[in-house]
């Protein structure tokens, strides 16, 4: 590890090791990348760059432009602290306190699941399948977590009324913060509650989306440590077969959908056939599936009969 930095000096000096070679940006990145790689990190170089950019208060382009610049003790000390957190498996998104989703910067921490690129397919599918109601509609996003799906949809459809709901009061609090930061407070409300219990029995929506917990309980312990040990289990555990929450959503969604209304659900990599079956059994029609960038059927959609 690069020599630990002490308290920042009034006149910060570049840090060198016994060979008198300075710990430049290029050198420290190479060291950190190799350290992460030896520990089995599949995104070693990217993580090293993101954490160094955070420690230096710059972007990754600046790291390239200033690659030969030696680091001062305080800068190395900050980087060392971030490296220690990543070494024990803490996700980079939690260390940075943010994650981009649908080109939107969102705040994230251990209260919520980290938004994944796969979930952008849920937003894209919802937008595509409701294009005929571009000017106005009502949306309910269940298991909203950070609010990423609700916020992304609301940015694209500013005239829609969007309700985002989560069982976790802590997640709902963070979602409200993201709603404010994204500038969609005028058309997004965040509520707390267990699925449809968060809204009135008389509520009616043209669109219901959900990225529910869908990992089977018995598989939680086999997840990567950065997921298993840091992300909220409430947002991961889908019961014995991974479909406990999904099943409850499908069984009750029609009561809250207008005729022809759309239900769009994200699921696990092998769950699309089962989710499609649940929709069919509950009377939904026009059932379709949407693939993520890896070609996995990630989202299942169905319509309430008109």
For the 110-303 domain, the top CATH level (class) is alpha beta
Determine the pLDDT at residue 230: 97
Paired sense of beta strands 188-192 and 205-210, if any: unpaired
Tokens of 207: 């669109």
Rounded distance between C-alpha atoms, residue 246 and residue 204, angstroms = 19
Residue extents of the structural domains in the chain: 1-88, 110-303
Nearest residue to 24 (alpha-carbon basis) of 89, 70, 93, 73: 70
pLDDT tens digits, the chain, 306 residues: what are they?
Answer: 544 343 333 334 454 554 568 999 999 999 999 999 999 999 999 999 999 999 999 999 999 999 999 999 999 999 999 999 999 999 999 999 999 999 999 999 999 999 999 999 999 999 999 999 989 999 999 999 999 999 999 999 999 999 999 999 999 999 999 999 999 999 999 999 999 999 999 999 999 999 999 999 999 999 999 999 999 999 999 999 999 999 999 999 999 999 999 999 999 999 999 999 999 999 999 999 999 999 999 999 999 998
* CB-based contact 69:24 (threshold 8 Å): yes
Specify the CATH number of the domain 1-88. Answer: 1.10.8.10
Q: Coil, helix or strand for 101?
A: strand
The region, left, alpha or beta by phi > 0 then psi within -120 to 50, assigned to residue 87 is: alpha
Taking the CB of residue 220, how many other CB atoms lie within 10 A of it?
Answer: 15
Provide the terminal-to-terminal Cα distance of the chain, rounded to the nearest Å.
Answer: 64
Determine the pLDDT at residue 55: 97
Tokens of 254: 């029609």
pTM comes to 0.90
């Amino acid at each position: 590890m690069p020599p630990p930095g002490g308290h920042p000096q009034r006149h910060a000096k570049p840090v060198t090791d016994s060979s008198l070679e300075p710990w430049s940006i290029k050198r420290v990145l190479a060291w950190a990348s190799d350290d992460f790689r030896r520990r089995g990190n599949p995104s070693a170089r990217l993580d090293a760059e993101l954490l160094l950019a955070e420690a230096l208060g710059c972007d990754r382009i600046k790291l390239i432009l200033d690659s030969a610049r030696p680091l001062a003790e305080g800068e190395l000390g900050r980087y060392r602290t971030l490296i220690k957190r990543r070494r024990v498996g803490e996700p980079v998104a939690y260390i940075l306190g943010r994650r981009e989703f649908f080109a939107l910067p969102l705040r994230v921490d251990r209260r919520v699941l980290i938004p994944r690129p796969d979930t952008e397919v849920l937003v894209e599918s919802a937008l595509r399948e409701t294009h005929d109601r571009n000017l106005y509609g009502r949306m309910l996003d269940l298991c909203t977590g950070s609010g990423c799906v609700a916020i992304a949809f609301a940015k694209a459809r500013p005239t829609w009324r969007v309700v985002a709901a989560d069982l976790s009061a802590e997640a709902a609090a963070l979602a409200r913060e993201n709603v404010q930061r994204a500038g969609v407070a005028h058309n997004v409300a965040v509520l707390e509650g267990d699925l449809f219990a968060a809204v009135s029995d008389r509520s009616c929506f043209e669109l219901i989306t959900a990225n529910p917990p869908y990992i089977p309980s018995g598989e939680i312990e086999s997840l990567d440590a950065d997921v298993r040990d840091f992300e909220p289990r409430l947002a991961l555990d889908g019961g014995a077969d991974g479909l406990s929450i999904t099943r409850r959503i499908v069984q009750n969604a029609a009561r809250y959908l207008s005729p022809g209304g759309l239900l769009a659900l994200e699921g696990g990599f092998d769950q699309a056939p089962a989710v499609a079956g649940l929709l069919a059994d509950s009377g939904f029609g026009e059932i379709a599936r949407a693939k993520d960038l890896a070609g996995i059927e990630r989202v299942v959609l169905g319509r309430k009969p008109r």
